Amino acid sequence: GEIVEIVGAPGSGKTEFVTEIAAHAVLPRARDGVRYDGSEARVIVIDCDGKFDQLRLLRALNRKIEEKLANVRENQRVTMRDEVYEESMSRFTLVRAHGMVDALKTLTALDAAWSGAIESAKRDGLFVDAETGEAGEDVECAGANGANGGEMAKFASQRLVICDNVAAFYWLDRASR
């Protein structure tokens, strides 16, 4: 529920910073006895200038996973890395906005979709309040990789929206007046 604006001169590392944040956010907390210390959050990047480099995100994510798997036996490392990588990327979405209207439509659609998803999860007893840790009802369903369904529902409610370079539309919008 917070908005944070990251500002700086061109080339100062703003996009690199949000790429690292996104990579950390999609990582799981722990899997198969390995702590990744991620947030298990859904991440949506709204790319306003068409320059968001997905390869940079993939490299950052891969680097974070490899660091955590350094002490795992070689024959297990590849399988575990691939599973965590796939799970993490399943929580990432990139949206290319070609104008301010696209960016605003995306934010409106996300708001509508997420408020509906939360209400549905509350109705079905699958929502766990992140602050109190209390579920709507008993939750016994299994989440990804055998994790407790309540724990998965709790962290599935965490979301991060990154609007990269909203200023890209400033001059276009001024010129259109």
> Which string of DSSP letters, residue by residue, matches 90-111?
TTEEEEE-SSHHHHHHHHHHHH
Q: Are 137 and 127 in contact (CB under 8 A)?
A: no
Better-scored residue on pLDDT, 105 or 139:
105
Per-residue confidence band for 142, with pLDDT thresholds at 50, 70 and 90: very low
pTM of this structure: 0.72
For the residues 125-148, what does the mean pLDDT come to?
A: 43
Better-scored residue on pLDDT, 58 or 122:
58
Q: pLDDT, tens digit, for every residue of 81-98?
A: 999 999 999 999 999 998
- What is the rounded CA–CA span in Å between residue 89 and residue 91? 5
Q: Residue 126's pLDDT is what?
A: 57
- What is the rounded CA–CA span in Å between residue 158 and residue 29? 13
- What is the rounded CA–CA span in Å between residue 47 and residue 95? 6
Q: pLDDT, tens digit, for every residue of 125-134?
A: 655 554 445 5
| Backbone torsions φ then ψ of 34, nearest 5 degrees | -110, 130
Collapsing DSSP states into helix, strand and coil, what is residue 172? helix
Q: Report the range of poorest mean pLDDT among 21-25, 47-51, 110-114, 121-125.
A: 121-125
Q: Report the range of poorest mean pLDDT among 54-63, 75-84, 117-126, 149-158.
A: 149-158
- What is the rounded CA–CA span in Å between residue 130 and residue 135? 9
Q: What are the CA-CA distances from residue 110 to residues 79, 114, 167 (Å)?
A: 33, 6, 21
* Token pair for 14: 């703003």
Q: Residue 2's pLDDT is what?
A: 82
Q: Residue 139's pLDDT is what?
A: 32
For the residues 55-75, what does the mean pLDDT come to?
A: 93
Q: Is residue 35 predicted with pLDDT exceeding 80? A: yes
149 Cβ contact list (under 8 Å, min separation 6): 126, 139, 140, 141, 142, 143
| Backbone torsions φ then ψ of 44, nearest 5 degrees | -120, 125
Q: Are 161 and 107 in contact (CB under 8 A)?
A: yes
Collapsing DSSP states into helix, strand and coil, what is residue 30? strand
